[in-house]
Structure 1
Amino acid sequence: MMDIYKHKSEFKVLVFVIALLIGGVSLYYTDTLVKKLVEREKEQIELYASALRFTLDPENNEPLTFIFDEIIKSNQHIPVILTDHEENIITYKNIDIPPGVSPERKERILQRELEIMKQEHPPIIVEYEVGAPTHNKIYYRNSDLIYQLRWYPYAQLSVIAIFGFLTYLAFSYSRKAEQNRIWVGLAKETAHQLGTPISSLMAWIELLKHDEQFKNHEVLGELEKDIKRLQITTERFSNIGSKPTFKPEDPYEVVKEIVDYLRPRISPKIEMEVVNYTLQGTRVLMNRHLFQWVIENLCKNAVDAMNGAGKIEIKLKVTANHKKTIIDVTDTGKGIPKSKFKKIFAPGYTTKKRGWGLGLTLAKRIVENYHKGRIFVKASEIDKGTKFRIILPNQQTEGVESYELVNKKNPLRKVLESLEKGNSLSEKD
C-alpha cells in the first residue's frame, strides 16, 4: 500500500487530475444537454412558424395575432418576438415587462430584447406566398432554463472546489496539530527522562570534587560545562509546547556563546567564525536557550555536510532601516539541490541514515512560531556549500544616530562607510 505522506506530492497531483477529469466530464455532459435543448427549442419555434404558414389567410392579416397567441400560448419559457418584414414588432411572448411602464420604455425594452435575439439566432421567416415581398419574422433566444443549465456546472464546481479547499485546510490543520502533539509529548518525555541521570551526574561531580585525586583536575570543569549543557537541553525540551519566556538579547552575544561551546566539541579540522556587523545596542526579543538550539542545529548539519572538514561562517548584520537582524550561517559542505530548499524543513525529511528529520523542523518552529522571524535557504551550490538565512525583528537599536555621526566626523570615514554598507543590507542581499 502506498505511503500517502511520503508520496504526498504525487497524491496531490493524482487528486488534482481526478478533479479535472470529473469537472471536464461534467462540463462536457452539461454542454451536450444544452446543445440538445437549444436544438429542441429551435425545432419548437420552427413548428410554430410552420403552423403559421399553413393557417394564415394571405388576404387577411387580422387572424395573425390571434393564431400567434394561440400557438405560442403553450410556450411558457422561450422568449419570442414576431415582426413584419420591416422588423416592426407585432407581438411578443415570455419577455418581462414591468407593470405600468410607459409605451416608450416598453418599446425600448422590446428593441433591446430584439437585438439580443438577433445575436443569438437567425430569424425564422414566415412567408404567405413564395417570393412575396411581405412576410413575417420570428425572433427568439434561449430560455432561462438553458442559461441556468449552462452555468450550473460552473457553480457546482465552484462549490465543490470551495468545499475541497476547506476540507484540505481542516485536514492540514488536523495533521499539523497531531504532529505538534506528538512532538510536544516526545519533547516533554525526553526532558523528564533526562532529569534523573543529570541529577546523578551532578552528585558524582560533587563527590569527585572532594576527592584529592580529582578535585583540581581540569576534566571536572569540562564535565560541569557538559552537565550545564544537558540542563539547558532539558529546558529546551520542556519549553516545546509551552509558552517560552522572552527578553531583549544581544544577538551577537547569544550566537557567540553557543559557538564558543561547540568549537572545542567538533572536529579540529572545522573552522568556525562569527562576524558581527550589527549596530551597538541592537536587541532582539528572544528566548536564549531555544534560539541557541537553532544555531546548534544549523552548525551540526553543516558539520555533517562537510564530512568533518571545512568552514562555518556566521555573519550578523542589520537591514537598512535597522528594524531587523539578519543572521547568515554559511558552510563549505556538499550543498542542497534547489528543488529541496523547502522540503528540508518538512518533518521526517533527512539525508542521514539514522536521522529523525526533526532538527530543521524544530528550528523553523522556533524561529517562525516563537520568534516571529523567518528561516530559509538563501543560496546553495552542489559541492560548494549552503547559506541559511535567519531574519529576526529588532526590539530596539540604541545609539544608531550617534554611530552614524561618528562615521561622518571620523578621519577614516571611507573605511567606516564601507563597514556601514556591510551593516545596512536589505533582506534580499
Structure 2
Amino acid sequence: MEFNPRKRTSNIFLLISAFVIVSLILWNTNSFFKKFKEEERLKMEIWATAQSELLQADEDQELGNLTLKVLGNNTSTPMILQNKDGSIRTNNMPEEMVVDSAYLQKKMRQFASENDPIIIEDRGEELATLYYGNSEVLNKLKYYPIALLLIIFLFGAVIFFFFKTNKASEQNKLWAGMAKETAHQIGTPLTSLLGWNELLKAENINPEVTKEIGKDISRLQTITERFSKIGSTPELEMHDIVSETEKAYQYLKRRSSKLIQFSFSSNIDTLLVPLNPPLYNWSIENLVKNGIDAMKGKGSISIKVEKTGNTVNILVADTGHGIPRGAFQTIFNPGVTTKKRGWGLGLSLVKRIIEEYHKGKIKVFSSSKEGTIMQISLKSNH
C-alpha cells in the first residue's frame, strides 16, 4: 500500500481554500445587502421630501414634474404614511388588508423594526411619519446569507464524511497490507517446518510427537490462509454450517482451560451454507475467546445453531460480566475494546468477515451481568 502524505496536505489545502472562497462570498453578499439597504433608505428619504412638498402645496398650486415622478415611481417598497391628524395612507400593500386598522398597526411596528421611520416636517413642524419595510428583492437577499451558511454546513459535512471514509479506507488498506505481509513472512518458516517434521518422521521419532507437531503446522497453515484472505474477496463454497461450527468448537474445547465448561447444540443435523471455512472458523474463535476473557478464564461457553425460516443463527453465549447497552454497536468498531489490554480488532474483523464477506449479520443478542449472547445470522439456500 502506498501512503502519500502529500495527498493529505493537498486535501487540507483544498478544504481551507473552499472555506475561504465561500466565506468571501458570504462577506460580499452581506456587504451588498447593507449597500442595497442604504440605497433604499436614500430612495425613501427622497420620496419623503417629495411628499413634504405635496403636503405643503396649496390646492391650486401645481407640483413640478420631478416631484410627481418621484411620488409615482415607487412601486416596490411597502409604505404606510401616517399624517399628524392620524389619517393613514398606504402604498404597495394588499388592498384587502389596508382597511384593517389592527393589521396596519402591526405592519407599522414591523416596518419600524426593519427601518427607522422617517419624520416628514417643515420648519420644525411635524407633518407626517413614513413607515416603510424592505422591498421584495431586499427580503430575498436577506435570506441569501442563511442559504449560504446552510451550504457551508452541508459542504463541511460532505467533506468531513469524505475524509472519514477516506481515512477508514486507508486504514483498511493498511491492515490488509500488514495481514498479507504477515502471511507472506510466516510462509517461509512454515515450509521449513514441514520439511523438518518429515525428517523427524524418517528418524523414527515417537509418532505422537510428530503428530502433534503436524497439528501445530496445520494450525499455522490455517492462520496463514486467514491472513492472506484479508483485503481480498474470499471464495464462498457450500459447506455444512453445523459441522464447521462444531469443528471450531471442538478445536477451542481441546485447547481451553478445564475451568471452562463447553456445550454445543443444534436443532438441525446438517445445512449447506455459502461459507469460507477458515474465515468463518476464525469468527467463531474470536467470539469464544472474547467470552473466555470476559469470564476471566472460568465459566461456561455454549454454542447453538438454530434454523429459522431461511436464516440460520449461531449463538455464542458466555457467563462473563456483560457488555454495557450503550456499547452494543461501538464494540464492533476498530480500536474499541472493553479489555484493559487489547487492540480492539477481534470483533471488527468478525463483523467484516460476517457482514462484508458472507453477507450476514452479527449483533449483541443480549447482555447482562449474568453473561452475553452474540448472534451471527446467515442466509441459507434451503
Q: TM-score, normalised by structure 1?
A: 0.66
Q: What is the alpha-carbon distance in structure 1 between the residues aligned to residue 61 and residue 298 of structure 2?
A: 105
Where 1:195 maps in the other structure, the secondary structure is: helix
Q: Structure 1 residues 115 and 251 mapped into 2: Cα distance closer, same or farther (>3 Å)?
A: farther
The alignment status of 1:238 with 2:237, answered yes or no, reads no
CA positional deviation for 1:45: 4.2
Which structure 2 residues correspond to residues 327-338 of structure 1 after superposition, within 5 A?
Answer: 327-338=314-325
Q: Structure 1 residues 280 and 308 mapped into 2: Cα distance closer, same or farther (>3 Å)?
A: closer
Q: What is the alpha-carbon distance in structure 2 between the residues aligned to residue 298 and residue 281 of structure 1?
A: 22
Q: What is the alpha-carbon distance in structure 2 between the residues aligned to residue 58 and residue 276 of structure 1?
A: 107
Q: Structure 1 residues 192 and 149 mapped into 2: Cα distance closer, same or farther (>3 Å)?
A: same
Give the alignment partner of residue 365 of structure 1, picking from 344, 352, 357.
352
The alignment status of 1:151 with 2:123, answered yes or no, reads no
Q: What is the alpha-carbon distance in structure 1 between the residues aligned to residue 372 and residue 255 of structure 2?
A: 22
1:342 maps to which residue? Answer: 329
2:310 maps to which residue? Answer: 323
2:378 maps to which residue? Answer: 392
2:197 maps to which residue? Answer: 205
Q: Contact 1:373–1:390 at 8 Å: present in 2 too?
A: yes
- C-alpha distance after superposition, 1:287-316 (max 9, x if no partner): 111111111111111111111111111222
2:183 maps to which residue? Answer: 191
Q: What is the alpha-carbon distance in structure 2 between the residues aligned to residue 323 and residue 267 of structure 1?
A: 36
Q: What is the alpha-carbon distance in structure 1 between the residues aligned to residue 275 and residue 58 of structure 2?
A: 96
- C-alpha distance after superposition, 1:214-252 (max 9, x if no partner): 13x3x4333322221211111111111122110122222
Q: What is the alpha-carbon distance in structure 2 between the residues aligned to residue 281 and residue 258 of structure 1?
A: 16
Q: Contact 2:80–2:89 at 8 Å: present in 1 too?
A: no
Q: What is the alpha-carbon distance in structure 1 between the residues aligned to residue 95 and residue 82 of structure 2?
A: 11
Give the alignment partner of residue 255 of structure 2, picking from 240, 262, 265.
265
1:104 maps to which residue? Answer: none
Which structure 2 residues correspond to residues 22-421 of structure 1 after superposition, within 5 A?
Answer: 45=44, 48-49=47-48, 51-55=50-54, 56-60=56-60, 63=63, 67-71=67-71, 73=73, 78-79=77-78, 111=95, 119=107, 121=111, 141-215=133-207, 217=208, 219-277=209-267, 279=268, 282-319=271-308, 322-352=309-339, 354-382=341-369, 384-394=370-380, 396-397=381-382
Q: What is the alpha-carbon distance in structure 2 between the residues aligned to residue 173 and residue 293 of structure 1?
A: 26
Q: What is the alpha-carbon distance in structure 1 between the residues aligned to residue 196 and residue 328 of structure 2?
A: 45
Where 2:352 maps in the other structure, the secondary structure is: helix
Equivalent residue letter for 1:214: N
Q: Structure 1 residues 315 and 61 mapped into 2: Cα distance closer, same or farther (>3 Å)?
A: farther
Q: What is the alpha-carbon distance in structure 2 between the residues aligned to residue 297 and residue 76 of structure 1?
A: 76
Q: Contact 1:81–1:114 at 8 Å: present in 2 too?
A: no
Q: Structure 1 residues 235 and 353 mapped into 2: Cα distance closer, same or farther (>3 Å)?
A: same
Q: What is the alpha-carbon distance in structure 1 between the residues aligned to residue 302 and residue 96 of structure 2?
A: 75
Q: What is the alpha-carbon distance in structure 1 between the residues aligned to residue 80 and residue 139 of structure 2?
A: 19
Q: Contact 1:184–1:241 at 8 Å: present in 2 too?
A: yes
Q: Contact 1:314–1:327 at 8 Å: present in 2 too?
A: yes
Q: Contact 1:314–1:330 at 8 Å: present in 2 too?
A: yes
Q: Structure 1 residues 343 and 115 mapped into 2: Cα distance closer, same or farther (>3 Å)?
A: farther
Q: What is the alpha-carbon distance in structure 2 between the residues aligned to residue 328 and residue 310 of structure 1?
A: 17
Where 1:245 maps in the other structure, the secondary structure is: coil
Equivalent residue letter for 1:154: I
Where 1:357 maps in the other structure, the secondary structure is: coil
Q: What is the alpha-carbon distance in structure 2 between the residues aligned to residue 306 and residue 76 of structure 1?
A: 81
Equivalent residue letter for 1:291: Y
Q: What is the alpha-carbon distance in structure 2 between the residues aligned to residue 198 and residue 192 of structure 1?
A: 10
Q: What is the alpha-carbon distance in structure 1 between the residues aligned to residue 98 and residue 181 of structure 2?
A: 79
Q: What is the alpha-carbon distance in structure 2 between the residues aligned to residue 353 and residue 125 of structure 1?
A: 76
Where 2:292 maps in the other structure, the secondary structure is: helix
**5+ long unaligned stretches in structure 2:** 1-18, 122-126
